[in-house]
Structure 1
Amino acid sequence: MENVAILVDGAFFIKRALHIFGKLTPDELASKLCSYSEKHLARDRKGERNKLYRIFFYDCPPLQNKVFHPYHQQQIDMAKSERSIWRLQFHDELRKKRKMALRLGRIDDINVTWRINYDKIKKLCSGRLKWHDLKEEDFSMDVKQKGVDMRIGIDITSLALKKQVTQIVLISGDSDFVPAAKFARREGIDFILDPMWAPIKEDLYEHIDGLRSTFPKPCNKKKLESSY
């Protein structure tokens, strides 16, 4: 029987879950995370279900300060935004779940930037679109998370060294985990990646022991814009 730890890259998970399920309440998404994570607990040859050690969820608290919005040309209070309120409620729901460990980094609230939809940039450059034709949804905030990748790496290393688990499932689509994954595999850990059906780079296959997505496969539909 395997002792399984499930590590979740929070920002990646929320974005993919929105693409798969559509907009959900904090409680609904927290419940789906638990239910689909438990699908990784397969049964062994004797029919015994593998044991869940813990679900580790890595994220950052949302911005709570005021930032200048280029579309509205004014300061907006992010603490009162729907996105911020939803994220904090989601974290609270996760704290209520059994065997859930919330690992929070921090947001770089100094170097906040804004991006314009790439398709709109191409149209602006070609003259097919004018600046006054842009809409609010064409702008997205770009904020950097601090300490999340470090916490994932530390926990993978600690779990492997202390022999607390025999299998680690990482829900992510990033390649930043590779050094920690290589270390865990050298320590005899079975390392599984769940990218929630997102495509991964070909060279990632050599650094994992298996690829398995337990979430529903997304339909071929227009990508939803995140409000989380």
Structure 2
Amino acid sequence: MIDGGFLAKRLSKLVSEPEKLTPYKVCGIIRSICRAHVKKLTDDEGGNWHRHIYRIFYYDAPPFQGQAHHPLTGEQINFGKSDLAKFQEDLFLLLRKQRNMALRLGSLSKLGGWTVQHERMAKLLRAKAAIDEIHAIEPAADGTVTLTAEAVADFRARTAAWHALEPWMVHLDLRQKGVDMRIGLDIASLTLKRLASTIILVAGDADFVPAAKLARREGVQFILDPLWQSVSDDLFEHIDGLQTVLKRTADKGQKGAAPANQQA
């Protein structure tokens, strides 16, 4: 079971040249991840690894089809015709043609307006204090305001994030709907119908804890592949194994992460 949104984010950090990823390469990576997990579980060196698999489930959401004006450039963007939308549509088409593959699609909704990532937003908001300090300075009789060299340097430092802001750093607030629910339902279905003895989940979200607990209570082995991302203690407690098979060529790892391939 592969969370497509999670996979896309991690691949941008794990591969050395993420801009060169194509739908064909991502499809190949998905197959190689599944093949490597099967090999580790079965010790089967043969090429017919599919015989050990019930299904490869891939979860994602169709690309957003709306339109909006970019707040920095004023450009009207048709998201349904963007490069990202074309990439996803081509990837979904490829996945539908793969052996033992089941594509599970939720939906993508616009929650609000435009936003930037949390870390960058914090830097942008720091400029407000500098602006407030300058605004509080009483102007001279001729309307001029005198600033010390230190004040000017401080203002420039705190407003540098605004000058560094690029259009690509600002994105529409879109959220997946129904993806986590589909993963949970499929885990429950596979478990209660005894369709698989081992479930491998490629994700990193603790929202799957109830489904993982159900699988383990019913005797199903539950292995998590977080693609080298750190795992919360709550999630780590309710899995049978932690194993990442994808080699990383760009990401240097994260401090505090539970080591890959460690048994829970």
TM-score norm. by structure 2 comes to 0.75
How is 1:206-217 mapped onto 2 (pairs within 5 angstroms)? 206-217=237-248
**Alignment deviations for residues 124-179 of structure 1 (CA, whole Å, 9 cap, x no partner):** 33332264652112212321111111100110000001100000000001011110
Aligned to 1:184: 215
For residue 206 of structure 2, give the secondary structure of its aligned residue in structure 1: coil
Q: Is the 8 A contact 2:13 2:251 kept in 1?
A: no
The amino acid that maps onto 1:34 is: R
Q: Deviations over 1:27-78 (max 9, x none)?
A: 1110111112111113548989781111000000001121232122243111
User: Which AA in structure 1 matches 2:13?
Assistant: H
When the two structures are aligned, how many residues end up with a matched partner? 215
CA 43–157 in structure 1, closer or farther in 2 if over 3 Å, else same: closer
**One-letter identity of the residue aligned with 2:26:** L
Query: Which deviates more from structure 2 when the two are superposed, residues 130-139 or residues 79-88?
Result: 130-139
SS at match of 1:15: helix
- Cα distance in 2 for residues equivalent to 1:119 and 1:45: 44
- Is contact 1:120-1:129 (8 Å) kept? no
Higher-Rg structure is 2
Bigger relative contact order (CA 8 A; separation at least 6) = 1
Tell me what 2:178 maps to. Answer: 147
Aligned match of 1:76: 77
Question: Do the aligned partners of 1:30 and 1:90 also contact (CA within 8 Å) in 2?
Answer: yes
**Aligned-pair RMSD on alpha carbons?**
2.3
Contact 1:197 / 1:218 at 8 angstroms: preserved in 2?
no
CA–CA distance in structure 2, aligned partners of residues 218 and 198 of structure 1: 14
In the alignment, the residues of structure 2 paired with residue 117 and residue 162 of structure 1 have an alpha-carbon distance, to the nearest angstrom, of 42
For structure 2, the 5+ residue unaligned runs are 128-157, 253-264
Change (3 A) 1:46 1:152: closer
Give the counterpart of 2:199 among 144, 165, 168. 168
Residue of structure 1 in register with 2:116 after alignment: 116
The residue that corresponds to 2:23 in the other structure is 26
- Bigger Cα displacement from structure 2, 45-54 vs 169-178: 45-54
- What is the identity percentage for the equivalent residue pairs of Structure 1 and Structure 2? 42
Write the distance in 1 (CA, Å) between the matches of 2:247 and 2:33: 9
In the other structure, the counterpart of 1:100 is 101
Aligned to 1:10: 4
Question: What are the residue-to-residue correspondences of 1:123-142 with 2, within 5 Å?
Answer: 123-127=123-127, 128-129=158-159, 131=162, 133-142=164-173
Map residues 25-104 of structure 1 onto 2, 5 A cutoff.
25-41=22-38, 42=40, 44=42, 51-104=52-105
8 Å Cα contact 1:10-1:57 kept in structure 2: yes
User: Structure 1 stretch 120-129 or stretch 135-144: which is displaced more?
Assistant: 120-129
Letter in 2 for 1:125: L
Deviates more, 1:69-78 or 1:88-97: 69-78
Higher normalized strand content (fraction of residues): 1
Shift in CA distance, 46/174, structure 1 to aligned 2, threshold 3 Å: closer
- SS of the aligned residue for 1:40 comes to helix
Distance 2:112 2:122 in 1: 23
Q: Which runs of 5+ in 1 are unaligned?
A: 1-6, 222-228
State the distance in 1 between where 2:231 and 2:107 align. 26
Q: Conserved in 1, the CA contact under 8 Å of 2:27 and 2:94?
A: yes
Which of 143, 159, 167 matches 2:190? 159
Change (3 A) 1:220 1:98: closer
TM-score, normalised by the number of residues in structure 1 = 0.86
